[in-house]
Structure 1
Amino acid sequence: MSITETKYFGKISFEPESELEFPRGLPGFDGRKRFLAVTFPASEPLVYLQSLEDPDLCFITMPLLAVDPRYRLTVGREDLNLLGLPPASQPRIGVDVMCLTVLSMREEGPTANLLAPIVVNLRNRRAVQAIAPEGEYSHQFELMPAEAPVCS
């Protein structure tokens, strides 16, 4: 059992085999390659991606299919290689991989990044932020769209 100190959750105990490894890190966060997926029953379905190298770095995510049940995952050859998955086929969400979407809290309301989901190989815990084909998904998908004004 290992323990890490975090800014938002205090001390967290975890099994080393529960670590997620991002072989190339995350865009904009150089050197941050080891994370934990932290969940709490009171905040389900949220999943907090807590950096093990930076106690101040934590992403709020949620399962991608909770946002868009019809999401079509496309993972490029390089990402499949980094994940340790066969290059000839696409992984299945919930079977081969776990997919999380990073949430952003904006003044207009929360959004989800469907353009670049976090893809985790369930067998070896390797992860990448995969970029979806251009035009298919938004990096600011509104989770609670503004209501249309009511005519009087």
Structure 2
Amino acid sequence: MKISTKYHGEIEVTPEALLTFEHGIPGFLEEKQFTLLPLPDNNEFQILQSLETPELGFVVASPFVFFQDYDFTLDTATVDQLGSPSEKEVEVLSILTIKEPLHESTANLQGPIIINLANNKAKQVILNNSDYQTKHTIFAQPEHAGQKG
């Protein structure tokens, strides 16, 4: 099927590439179908693109690229909603806020996106009982930041 996208223009998407968020994404509850699109010349970042709304595309990345000790436990209800995937069938992504300058960009670690790779069911989970926030800086700050030259 052909879809219009925010960053890639009009592209062809196969049915196998569709992700289903049965309850939408918080703030976008009516958006139930997405696909992941690669960014050219970038292996870390992808676009989580809505199939319904061309303007709705989130920049996402694996949080483990930036935060190796990122860890949380999913509740039983979430695991059931996703079809009870094994650990090897799960992909975790974080929605990024890309800023200018780039080193100020942040990741939402409080609301990871969990994808069951076996059935393409997905859900954004809100971690209420954790120290994770919606804005964690993903790049090391430059040494001269905050200093006057």
Amino acid of the structure 2 residue aligned with 1:116: G
Aligned to 2:120: 125
Amino acid of the structure 2 residue aligned with 1:47: Q
TM-score, structure 1 normalization: 0.85
Aligned to 1:135: 130
Aligned length: 145
Determine what percentage of the aligned residue pairs are the same residue. Answer: 33
Contact conserved, 1:74 with 1:133, CA < 8 A, in 2?
Answer: no
Shift in alpha-carbon separation, 1:27–1:74, aligned structure 2, 3 A: same
Give the gaps of 5 or more residues in structure 2.
none
Cα root mean square deviation, aligned: 2.2
Deviations 1:16-40 (A, max 9, x none): 1210000110000121010000013
Deviations 1:79-135 (A, max 9, x none): 11210116xxxx52xx12011010013467100001111000010000001122423
Aligned to 2:63: 64
Cα deviation for residue 136 of structure 1 reads 2.6
Tell me which of 102, 113, 116 is aligned to 2:111: 116
Q: Are residues 1:23 and 2:14 paired?
A: no
Give the Cα separation in 2 of the matches to 1:64 and 1:144.
12
TM-score, structure 2 normalization: 0.86
Aligned to 2:75: 76
Give the match's secondary structure for 1:45.
strand
Aligned to 1:34: 33
